[in-house]
Amino acid sequence: MHIKTIVTQTYQDQNPGTSGLRKKVKVFQQRHYLENFVQSIFDVLPNFQGKSLVIGGDGRYFNKEAIQTIIKIAAANGFGELIIGQNGILSTPAASHIIRKYGAFGGLILSASHNPAGENEDFGIKYNVSNGGPAPEKDTQAFFARSKIIDSYKLAELPDINLNEIGTQEIDGLKITIIDSVKDYAQLMESIFDFDLLRQSIQNGFITLSFDAMSAVTGPYAKRILIDMLGAPESAVQNATPLEDFAGHHPDPNLIHAHELADLMFSDNAPTFGAASDGDGDRNMIMGKGIFVTPSDSLAILAANATLIPAYYKGLKGVARSMPTSQAVDRVAAHYKIPCYETPTGWKFFGNLLDADKITLCGEESFGTGSQHVREKDGLWAVLFWLNLIARRRQSVAEIVYEHWKKFGRDIYSRHDYEAVDSDIANNIMTNLREQIETLAGTVFGDYVVKYADEFCYHDSVDGSTSANQGFRIGFTNGSRIVFRLSGTGTVGATLRIYLERFEPDATKHNQDPQIALAPLIVLAEHFCNVKQLTGWTAPTVIT
């Protein structure tokens, strides 16, 4: 094949966040922009010539065009095989599994996850390494450094590849394989869960369900598994066709953006179980009739019941949570005397613990849970875990949750998001918090006494690396916490996230509304950061 070297111009804004590079579509469509970033990745990676690369995305606007460009750059740089999801579709957990199953060198996943899609919305790309997980910080920092000085990229002169037809073709020694996007992942799920029990429970009506794929990537996976394999009716999966604009959905599975599902689950006609997933299929929202399960509680409940699931019959090596996630899973770990690790936000921090066999389950409060089966969070896996749990325990979601709280206590929890805050204001808030934090220990605020206050710094127990400046923690003597951090997943301004947590051991008080129960902490959070005063806003953008 003929390979061209294209002289390019540099961009100074290609710094991958916690989950890759995310920008508006029109930014990626700038001359050389996508090409620069992909070439920068290949320039940094060692010894991949002749090896395989997995490519796929969530189907959002610009997905197919970007894949055709990536094929040409990957071919020019010497990859031996490209494994691509049919129609360019691969959920993030499915891509992770395929990298691992086929021993690929790595993969490029095209997604902006839970961000909106469309011509004027968001696009993203991230590199996953050979273990199936996101590239570690040392790699993403190297990608960024290279992107700031890159002066050319390589491009193979190839015709566009037919992404619709499953099969293998070879072009001048380059093997291009288009695979069924769902098959390998569905087989993996069948090996983890009791599909016979699930099929029986769904078909005899013990479990009724509603799954909202939000017109994003999980639709084909949910249809294949829930409908075709487990026998749920067609009506069990809504918004199942991935669309380039996600039909205008904001594909973030929470009570605000998945409000149709939430309305159904709090109605008289609610099924046994409800769930939603996000743009690239790695997040989940879990609901039962009349109840929403917070992601923090979900992680803790899965950990407490893991031995009911075939893949985890032997128990858990350990668990891990991101720093802002509630301490509910810590209590489960302490009860069962297994290790519990606290990491920064970002799934890549769980990868080392999983690879070192230190943990089996892990999760984040941002609607992500996962296990050793892949190196990404996995929305449909969490859904199947809950369905398997309901079928084994023969209880409703609410019964399972209240029984868990009775045994372990409830960590009443909420997250307040202030989205698209002016970056200068957001940075000033963090600077002011940093100036306060060292003097807060021992300070009394009504019924709340500060036990500790710090800026979280993570020391990786596996590779010895350190990740500083990961958010501010203020812990109180009664077990309550307030956490402040800036999110790295938005594309406009900054998102300030405030996490509020209060431990309640008294079972008679477990049914409290979180916003009422957390009211004193909400007042304290504003006292510390002044976000409403500085922005002029009266309330958070989203409360979960």
492 pLDDT above the threshold of 70: no
- Are both 220 and 362 inside the same structural domain? yes
236 and 313 both lie in a single domain: yes
Given a contact cutoff of 8 angstroms between Cβ atoms, the answer to whether 38 and 108 are in contact is: yes
> Do 189 and 175 reside in the same domain of the chain?
no
Q: How far apart are CA 270 and CA 75, in angstroms?
A: 51
Q: Does residue 377 sit in the same domain as residue 426? A: no
The domain boundary, picked from 407, 436, 451, lies at 407
275 and 199 inside one domain: yes
When divided into structural domains, the chain yields a total of 3
50 and 34 in a common domain = yes
Q: Which domain holds residue 525?
A: 410-543
CATH for 276: 3.40.120.10
Joined together, the tokens standing for residue 139 give 């790699």
Q: How many CB atoms lie within 10 A of CB 459?
A: 9
Last-in-domain residue among 122, 151, 181: 181
Q: Where are the alpha helices (DSSP H) in 307-441?
A: 328-336, 348-355, 379-393, 397-408, 423-437
- pLDDT tens by residue, 282-321: 999 999 999 999 999 999 999 999 999 999 999 999 999 9
- Mean pLDDT of all residues in 80-92: 98
Q: Backbone phi, then psi, for 385, in 5-degree steps?
A: -60, -50
**Does residue 192 share a domain with residue 326?**
yes
pLDDT tens string 455-477: 999 999 998 888 899 999 999 99
Please give the average per-residue pLDDT across 217-222, as a whole number.
Answer: 98
Give me the pLDDT at residue 134, please.
Answer: 93
Residues 514 and 537 in one domain: yes
Which of 355, 374, 407 terminates a domain? The answer is 407
Pair 369, 226 in one domain: yes
Q: Is 110 helix (H, G, I), strand (E, B) or coil?
A: strand
Set 19, 40, 52, 113: catalytic member: 113
Contact yes or no for 15/139 (Cβ under 8 A): no
- Quick check: is 414 catalytic? no
pLDDT digit string, tens, across residues 161-193: 999 999 999 999 999 999 999 999 999 999 999
- On whether both 339 and 193 belong to a single domain, the answer is yes
Residues 167 and 261 in one domain: no
My answer on whether 334 and 427 are in the same domain is no
